[in-house]
Amino acid sequence: MSKIGVKPYFSDTNTLYLGQRANSVDHIKAANYHGFNLSTFNVPVIIADGLLGHDVVSVEVNLKHFKTVPVASAYYFSPAFMVVSHVKGHMAFGFGGAIKNVGMGMVGRAGKYRIHSSTKPILKKEACIACELCIDICPQKALYLNPEKMIDVYGVRCVGCGACIPACPQHVFRFNWDKPAKEMHEKLAEACFGVVKNKKALYINFLTDITPDCDCVSWSDAPLAGDIGVLLSKDPVAIDQASLDLLEKAAALHPSALKPSIKSNPLHHLRPNIDSHYLLEYAEKINLGSRKYVLEEVS
């Protein structure tokens, strides 16, 4: 790489929720455990937003929700990116691809907080069995057991990150799929806009092992569709639109999280209340990229 003047590094940012990626020390240990290290690739790992997720640079965007975007400092000072994304389902956005990877994954904790903060989960308290798993997982310490031994929320602490939703075995929590959910899509697109502003970038989307939930959860589930392939583009909107279009045409796999009656368009049927196209419509509206594309097969 030195022959062409490039100094590559593997990178990620610290998560809003608790876990092995919540600080740079544990984060680098986790990366090393999974084989991302100097010994394996001769490429270092850099956690782009510092020790605790606060090392950011504010990038001016002057959009609907964000006037500035807190971009992780290592990304701000890097002239170009290669963004590798695993396309899958997502409980809040319907699907995750390049825009989700950049908009959520390349900002500091303050940016993640602001993207999530407009949508907070709805509680079905009567289903609670007081197992307290959600209390342990909540990054804001916003949950507690009330005197009736049912879960409750300190409203001012909750940021709507949704970590409690997959953690609960009783499905006590669910997202509120109303207007604020669209605001999350808009904020995600605006955050992505800030990260890639004045940058060169190449986007690679892997449409393989297409699971129903985000890769950040501590488990995996059976794929919803068969492996489709790998897409490459310089446009984050075009590559996500192509990914979504291919998934809409894909046959549903069973057994999976889908009902046996579902035969096609697996992500839509998994969460029919989420309009995944809205994210791409808004991203195009703010000139993040174009939804138009041409698929060229490479053998």
How large is the C-alpha radius of gyration of the chain? Answer: 19
pLDDT of residue 138: 86
Gap between the Cα atoms of 266 and 49, Å rounded: 35
Gap between the Cα atoms of 113 and 217, Å rounded: 18
Region 281-286: mean pLDDT is 98
- Kindly indicate the confidence band of residue 110, based on its pLDDT and cuts at 50, 70 and 90: confident
- Kindly indicate the confidence band of residue 3, based on its pLDDT and cuts at 50, 70 and 90: low
Coil, helix or strand at residue 100? helix
- Written as six digits, the tokens of 14 are 């610290």
What percentage of the chain has pLDDT greater than the value 90?
Answer: 70
Cα angle 231, 234, 238; round to 5: 65
Q: Domains in the chain, ordered, with CATH?
A: 2-117+177-285 (3.40.50), 122-174 (3.30.70.20)
Region 53-63: mean pLDDT is 95
pLDDT above 70: residue 18: no
CB 246 within 8 A of CB 240: no
pLDDT above 80: residue 209: yes
pLDDT above 80: residue 88: yes
136-175: per-residue pLDDT in tens?
Answer: 888 789 999 999 999 999 888 887 777 787 778 898 988 7
pLDDT of residue 46: 97
Q: Which of these ranges, 58-72, 77-91, 136-150, has the smallest mean pLDDT?
A: 136-150
